[in-house]
Chains A and B, each alone.
Chain A
Amino acid sequence: MKLNTLPYYRYIDLLKRYRIFLLFIILVVVAICAVYVKNGFVYSDKSLWLKGSKEYSKLLALKHPSYNVEKVVIDISKDGWSEKAVSKLKVLQQQLMLKDDVVSLNTLFKQTSIFKNALSEDQSMIEITSLFDADDSVTYTSVLKNPQNFKNFVDGNQITFYIVSDGDISLSEFNCSYPYERSKVQGSTHTKDLLLFLVLFIILASSFTIAFKSVLPTLLGVLFIATTTLLTVALFQLISPVGVTHVSIVLLAVTVSVMDFVYIYYKWHVLQRSVSQKIILYRVFVKTVTPIFWTTFVSVVGIGSLVFVDSHILQSIGLNVLLSSLVGFVLSFTFLFVMLSFFRQKNPQIITKDSSKYFADKEAHYKKQWLNLFLAFSALVFVYGIFMYFYKPMNVVTDTSATKIQIALTQKGMNNDTLLELQNIQNLIQSKFENVDSFESAYTEIEKLYKQEHPDKKFNLADVDADAYSFMFDLYDITKDLMTRDHLTLSIYLKDTDRKTEILKYLRDEEILIQDNQSLLQIAKADSINTLFVVVFFVLFLIMAIIYYMTRTVQFMWIALIVNAIPLSWFFAAIMMLDIPLSTEMLVAMIITGALSSDATMHFIYYYYRNRLKPRSSEKVLENSFLYIGTPLGMGNIMLILTFISLIFVPDTTVSNIGIYSSMLTILSLFMDLFVLPVLFLNQIKSNVSIKGYYHGK
């Protein structure tokens, strides 16, 4: 057979012929991208979750602002509860009030007292004063006398300030002489970017050198991964409507390109001895293009489908995977092949030859009861995860200190109808959720005023003249604490965050505007869980469909499902058991695993498919599969595990969390791919002679 009549040969021939020109074009594109790419990555996922969330969009549609409600707990142990402490806290309150970004402050100083100022029988007036206007001694004694009235703000030596703001407030610029606790202020992102890339470079470069005992893969690998990542980020910034580049895009692009590089380079590396330089690239292409195409297909169609979801965070992740996979695929079969065409490897070393033999032997003589036990245990874990999913809602609380929910009515104005709505909401929430501590609203203030005005009468909203109380609120300057842009607000103080998501969902069903970012964030995350499950099931279905299409064997389709579903169900069960809150980091980790695990299955099955008619012993089949598939798989995964583990040392919670979750999931996935997948195949082939066209062993 003439070489140039073989499929793909002409393509490889063209690639080699125009390699200088191609390399030049690619490098020009890379240079343009390098100039185009905007500096700095976003580490916080808050804006991504919020943008495009249904509740946030509702606020925007009504031109309603959303606020950050930050809980700051100040420790006054140094002075204890004293007039001195009151005076210092008041200074802080004063400074915060002057800050432009601060919309309102819910603190003990904002607590109102309603009293009848009566100088004589014919000189009297109902007045509302806040502790801020009172003397320090009055504040000090008020709290001592009625600690119950201030329990949301004063708890022993712990003073709580709720800061409602338009932006991030830095407390360091204020005169707060006490230690305080609040959500971490992000450090310089440029330092983090630099550190992140340094860690990625060192780990990947050293891994390539050690794994292949050569400097060549380090040079080619780093060039290839850097190019893929740069192009992916540039395309993302060009296409994405989100406008922010989360750091996870870099990590996803690196992950996809590492695996593509390792599979192709390894194949090229091992074929150096047996195949002539003339056809080596063609052989590498033929052996790798099909599985890499299908894994790209799974990522693009399966995970990429997230771009159609009405949530910016999920759209971003979908677009990340879609672009990473496409760019990785295109550059693998152009740029990488062009680079490989310039080199040859003398005395290529296969460092896993002995270990492959060892594992192949062990796995070929596996004990069936161990396999069954493992599968039964995994099934139990899966059932536990499903049970927990329906029995206990997934934790989406990222900030357990966010015990305040701020909502606003959709209807404008303060009148008896809107006040009645507030009353109904308060009563319903109070009766449905026992962890609600107290409320703060125009309704509660009116109730207090009414009791002061008519101590002998029972409060009845129907008797209330809303205009009169609205005037009182304006007169004593408390309207801004009870209304936002002419919409009545309600602050709900919770004892804990246990049932916060349920409360938020209830509020949403009642068409109430949720105003604070923490709550908006929480409900956006809660909404995304079902979508993610659908995507995970869709990806698993796609893998099964492709495996069936490739092999026409139903049994292999089930094996693919088991191998890919087990790490995810273990991980999910662990999340449910440990009550770890859902985060972008976790999603990225799950997506990385989804993309990676399909890789292994495709490559393994493709190998079997191509070698299905060759009679051999079960050990030989396994040994070869370990050598040709298991080695690059293990290499790539170990490199990624090392990279992810090293990310733990980057001083940023998002990056280190991606590191922790991804390394855990990759370890699980690798274990499944190396030790369970081959055994399951072997089990099927040996025990089920109905699988046609395969050698069933002795």
Chain B
Amino acid sequence: MQGMKKLFSLLFLVLLLPLVLLSQPVNKKQLLSPQDTLKVMESIQKYAITFGEGKNEIHTFVDPYCELSQRYMAFIFNKKERMFSKYTFHFYLLELRGKDSSDIITTILSSEFKEISLKSVMINHEDLEDEESMESQEAVESIKKAAQKIGVFKRPYILINGKVK
């Protein structure tokens, strides 16, 4: 009887553990210092889709299907002349859980005209024909790893001077 109780308790704990682990709140802190964050961003900057040629650099993780990422893009493109002269925007495509955007991310990153493709999807809400390249897979993986290091917890994840906004 005593043994049964122990077994049930163990079973209960085993069942409860993944639940507890799954229900942990999303980490909402930037894991790296601003300086380290900038170093990481520098390492993946070659995978970024860049707009503008301003002095100030803005790094942003976006999901092409995230409504708020799209809204953020729209704000920038509404005043693009001023924004692109003052800032340089680096966009990093990172899938958001539940958005099922991995295919479109691969397609955009495989495209010869990444900027146009990103704009078509996020601003004009157009569909693109699927494309895939080796480089895009490498980009997706590198961005994912960098995001994990930094602790990217939301989209759009805007980094200014290495600090999340």
Among A121, A467, A474, contact of B161 (Cβ-Cβ < 8 Å): A467
Can you name 16 A-B pairs with beta carbons within 8 Å? Answer: A119-B67, A123-B66, A123-B67, A123-B155, A125-B68, A125-B72, A465-B160, A467-B56, A467-B160, A467-B161, A468-B161, A471-B165, A474-B86, A475-B72, A475-B76, A476-B75
User: Given contacts A125-B72, A467-B161, A474-B79, could you give 9 more A-B pairs where the C-beta distance is less than 8 Å?
Assistant: A117-B71, A122-B26, A122-B97, A123-B69, A123-B96, A124-B154, A468-B163, A474-B83, A476-B75
Contact A122 B161 (CB under 8 A): no
Q: What are the 10 tightest A-B residue pairs by CB atom distance, in nearest-first order?
A: A468-B160, A122-B154, A125-B68, A123-B68, A468-B165, A475-B75, A124-B154, A467-B161, A123-B66, A121-B26
Indicate whether B87 reaches chain A with its CB closer than 8 angstroms: yes
Indicate whether A580 reaches chain B with its CB closer than 8 angstroms: no
Closest beta carbon of chain A to B51's beta carbon, Å = 14
Name the residue on A nearest B76 (C-beta). A475
Contact A472 B165 (CB under 8 A): yes
Contacts of B161 in A (CB 8 A): 465, 467-468
Contacts of B160 in A (CB 8 A): 465, 467-468, 471
Contacts of B83 in A (CB 8 A): 474-475
Contacts of A126 in B (CB 8 A): 165
Q: Map CB proximity to A onto B38-73 as digits: 1 under 8 Å, 0 otherwise.
A: 000000000000000000101000000011110110
A binding-site residues for B, Cβ under 8 Å: 117, 119, 121-126, 465, 467-468, 471-472, 474-477
Instruction: Compute how far the CA of A475 lies from the CA of B156 in the bound complex, rounded to whole angstroms.
Output: 14
Name the residue on B nearest A470 (C-beta). B56
Contacts of B155 in A (CB 8 A): 122-123
Instruction: Compute how far the CA of A121 lies from the CA of B24 in the bound complex, rounded to whole angstroms.
Output: 12
Residue of A117, A121, A122, A475 most packed against chain B (CB within 10 A): A122
Contacts of B154 in A (CB 8 A): 121-124
Contacts of B25 in A (CB 8 A): 121
Closest beta carbon of chain A to B95's beta carbon, Å = 11
Main secondary structure of the interface of A (DSSP, over half): mixed
Contacts of B96 in A (CB 8 A): 122-123
Instruction: Compute how far the CA of A465 lies from the CA of B162 in the bound complex, rounded to whole angstroms.
Output: 11
Closest beta carbon of chain A to B84's beta carbon, Å = 11
Contacts of B153 in A (CB 8 A): 122
Closest beta carbon of chain B to A126's beta carbon, Å = 8
Contact A117 B87 (CB under 8 A): no
Contacts of B69 in A (CB 8 A): 123
Contacts of B72 in A (CB 8 A): 125, 475
Instruction: Compute how far the CA of A467 lies from the CA of B58 in the bound complex, rounded to whole angstroms.
Output: 10
Instruction: Compute how far the CA of A544 lies from the CA of B66 in the bound complex, rounded to whole angstroms.
Output: 87
Closest beta carbon of chain B to A192's beta carbon, Å = 45
Name the residue on A nearest B72 (C-beta). A125
Instruction: Compute how far the CA of A465 lies from the CA of B69 in the bound complex, rounded to whole angstroms.
Output: 22
Contacts of B79 in A (CB 8 A): 474, 477
Closest beta carbon of chain B to A449's beta carbon, Å = 10
Closest beta carbon of chain A to B16's beta carbon, Å = 22
Name the residue on A nearest B98 (C-beta). A120
Indicate whether B149 reaches chain A with its CB closer than 8 angstroms: no
Indicate whether B125 reaches chain A with its CB closer than 8 angstroms: no
Contacts of B145 in A (CB 8 A): none
Instruction: Compute how far the CA of A408 lies from the CA of B67 in the bound complex, rounded to whole angstroms.
Output: 38
Chain B positions 15-39 with a Cβ under 8 Å from a chain A Cβ: 25-26
Contacts of A117 in B (CB 8 A): 68, 71
Closest beta carbon of chain B to A38's beta carbon, Å = 43
Contacts of B87 in A (CB 8 A): 471, 474
Chain B positions 63-113 with a Cβ under 8 Å from a chain A Cβ: 66-69, 71-72, 75-76, 78-79, 82-83, 86-87, 96-97
Contact A125 B26 (CB under 8 A): no
Contacts of B71 in A (CB 8 A): 117, 125
Instruction: Compute how far the CA of A392 lies from the CA of B83 in the bound complex, rounded to whole angstroms.
Output: 51
Among B26, B75, B156, B163, contact of A465 (Cβ-Cβ < 8 Å): B163
Contacts of A472 in B (CB 8 A): 165
Name the residue on B nearest A479 (C-beta). B82
Contact A124 B68 (CB under 8 A): yes
Instruction: Compute how far the CA of A248 lies from the CA of B96 in the bound complex, rounded to whole angstroms.
Output: 74
Q: Map CB proximity to A onto B124-153 as digits: 1 under 8 Å, 0 otherwise.
A: 000000000000000000000000000001
Closest beta carbon of chain A to B93's beta carbon, Å = 15
Closest beta carbon of chain A to B57's beta carbon, Å = 10
Contacts of B78 in A (CB 8 A): 477
Residue of A123, A467, A472 most packed against chain B (CB within 10 A): A123
Contact A125 B58 (CB under 8 A): no
Instruction: Compute how far the CA of A523 lies from the CA of B50 in the bound complex, rounded to whole angstroms.
Output: 50
Closest beta carbon of chain B to A543's beta carbon, Å = 63
Contact B156 A125 (CB under 8 A): yes
Closest beta carbon of chain A to B38's beta carbon, Å = 13
Contacts of B68 in A (CB 8 A): 117, 119, 123-125
Name the residue on B nearest A123 (C-beta). B68
Contact B58 A471 (CB under 8 A): yes
Name the residue on A nearest B154 (C-beta). A122
Contacts of A119 in B (CB 8 A): 67-68
Contacts of A476 in B (CB 8 A): 75
Name the residue on A nearest B69 (C-beta). A123
Instruction: Compute how far the CA of A465 lies from the CA of B86 in the bound complex, rounded to whole angstroms.
Output: 17
